Amino acid sequence: MVCNLLKVFKKATNVVSGSKYPTSNLYFHEMWSVKEVFDKEISSQNPIIASMVTEMKTKFEKYWKISYLSNCIPVILDPRFKFGFVEFRLNKAFGETAGVHIDKVDKAIRNLYNGYSSEMGKSSNSAAQEGEITSSGKVHSWSDWSQHMSYRSNQVTGELDRYYRADLFPCDDDSFDILHWWKMHAPKYPILASMARDVLAVTASTVAAKSSSAQVEESSLTIGLGYQATLSKL
C-alpha cells in the first residue's frame, strides 16, 4: 500500500527533473496528481496510511498555497490548457474561495503580459527615434509616435484575449512540442511568445541528489521558477 502511494512521487520526480524538455509547464499537473492521491488515501481504511497521508497533506497544502500562482503561469502558456484549465483546477482546489485565487492568477498573467508589451513597445519606439525617411528624403519627427500606435493597435490590444479564444491544441497528441508551437506562432503572438521563451526556459524544480552505485539515496524537489520573485511583486 505504501509503494502504491509513493509511485506518484516517483513519477512526479522523474517528470519535473527532466533535462531534455521544458518542465515548468508540467509541474502543476504532477503536483495535482499528488494532491489527488492525498485526497483519496486520507480516508483509507488502513489507520497507518490515513495517519501518514494526513500529515503529508498538511505540508502539501502549505506549499501549494505558496506556489500555485507561479505554477499556473506556465500552464496558461501551454496552448493545450490556457487559462480555462487553471480556472477549472483552482475551483476544485479552493472551493468557495476559488474566485480570489483565480483573480490573483488573472492579475498576475496580465501584469506580466503588460510588462512585456511595454518593453517591446519601447524597443519598437527606439528603432524609430531617428525618424522615418520618406520617398522625398524628408524625415517625419512624429514617426516614432505612428509606429508606437501601430504597434499598440496590432499587437498589444487583445493579443492575450485572442490567444485565450483560439482553439486548444489537442491534449492527446503525444508528439506535442511546446517550444516548437511557440516558435511557429510567434508572428501571431509576439508578446506571448517572448513571455513563453523566458518562462519555459526555467526549470520547474532543482533536484539535489547523491548517487551511489546507480542508487539515489537522497532527492528533494524545490520550486525553482525564476520569475516567482517577479510575480510576488505584482
Interacting residues of 155 by C-beta distance below 8 A, sequence separation 6+:
117, 120, 190, 191
Phi then psi dihedrals of residue 223, to 5 deg: -65, 130
* Closest CA relative to residue 66, chosen from 110, 31, 115, 109: 31
CA–CA dist 208, 223 (Å, integer) = 12
Give the pLDDT confidence score for residue 138 in this predicted structure: 55
Beta strands in 120-181 (DSSP E): 132-133, 139-140
pLDDT (mean) for 68-95:
95
Cα 155 to Cα 159: distance, rounded to the nearest angstrom: 6
Residues 203-231 pLDDT 10s:
877 655 444 334 333 333 333 344 444 45
**Whether pLDDT at 150 is above 70:** no
Q: What is the pLDDT of residue 213?
A: 39
Query: What 3-state class would DSSP assign to 40?
Result: helix
pLDDT at 143: 60
